[in-house]
Amino acid sequence: MLSSASAKPAEGSAKPAERPAPALSAADVAGGAAGGTVGGASDAGDAVGDCFSIRAEADVMAVARGARQLAERLGFSQVRAYHLATATSELATNLAVHAGGGMVRLRVIEDPEDAARLGIELRVEDHGPGIADLGLAMTEGYSTRARLGCGLPGASRLMDAFQIDSAVDQGTRIRAIKWRQPAPGRPTPGTTGSAGTGSGATAPSGKAPRRRAPARRGP
C-alpha cells in the first residue's frame, strides 16, 4: 500500500494550491540517443529519468511519489499512474525489508513501433540474499513476513511487462514497463496472471544457478 506524508499547515494559514506538472510529449524526451530494443520498448535516452537509493521507508515513499508524478507529467490516466506508483512502492519496500537496500531507476521510453506512445521503465536492483525459490515467491498470497502489500505477483499484474532475475547470494534484478495507454484488446493490468518461473540458467563456475521468470512482454 502506498503511504504519504505531508506537512501540516500552520493554524490560520492558507493551504497552498497544488499545481499539476506540465505534461510531457514525445518531443520532450527525443533528445537522447535511442538504444536497442528490449522487451518491446526502445530507449528514449536519459532526458527524463531518476535514480533512487532505497534504504528506509522514507526512500520508498519518495520513489513511489516520483513514479506517480512522472506518470502524471507524461499524461497517464490517474488509474495507470496509481498502478505504477503502487508497483514501485511494493518493489522498493522489498529492497528495504528483504535486501538491505538497493536502487530503483525510473526512465521514459518509447514504443519502437509508435514513437508517440510513451511508457515508463522501472528497474530495480539489489545485491542482497536473492530469492531461493522464485516460483514460490511469484505465487499469489506468498509472503516471507506478515505485512500488507501486493507482493511480487501483484506488482507484476499492475505493470504491462515484468521480468525478474534472481540468484542466491547474488541479488535480484527486475525490469518492468508501464505504458501511457494500454494496447487495444489487452486485458486491464491487475486481472492477468503473474509471470511464472523458468528453468535454471547456466551460471559461471562456482556460482549458484540463477533462476529467471520469463519476461511478460508488453505490446
Beta bridge partners of 107: 49, 121
Expressed as residue numbers, the domain containing 95 is 38-182+192-216
Eight-class DSSP state of 48: S
Answer whether residue 30 is part of any domain. no
Q: What string of DSSP letters covers 64-100?
A: HHHHHHHHHHTT--HHHHHHHHHHHHHHHHHHHHHSS
Answer whether residue 16 is part of any domain. no
**Total domains present in the chain:** 1
Answer whether residue 178 is part of any domain. yes
Answer whether residue 50 is part of any domain. yes
Answer whether residue 97 is part of any domain. yes
pLDDT value at 118 more than 90: yes
Closest to 189 (Cα-Cα) out of 219, 154, 165: 154
**Is there a contact between 71 and 126 (Cβ–Cβ < 8 Å)?**
no
pLDDT band at 139 (very low <50, low <70, confident <90, very high): confident
Residue 51's pLDDT is 95
pTM greater than 0.75: no
The mean pLDDT of the chain is: 73
pLDDT band at 3 (very low <50, low <70, confident <90, very high): very low
CATH number of the domain where residue 71 is located? 3.30.565.10
Helix-helix angle 151-158:78-98, to 10 degrees:
150
Backbone CA torsion sign across 9, 14, 15, 18:
negative
Q: What is the C-alpha to C-alpha distance for residues 13 and 205, in angstroms, rounded to an integer?
A: 65
User: Letter for the amino acid at 189?
Assistant: P
Answer whether residue 144 is part of any domain. yes
Residue 218's pLDDT is 54
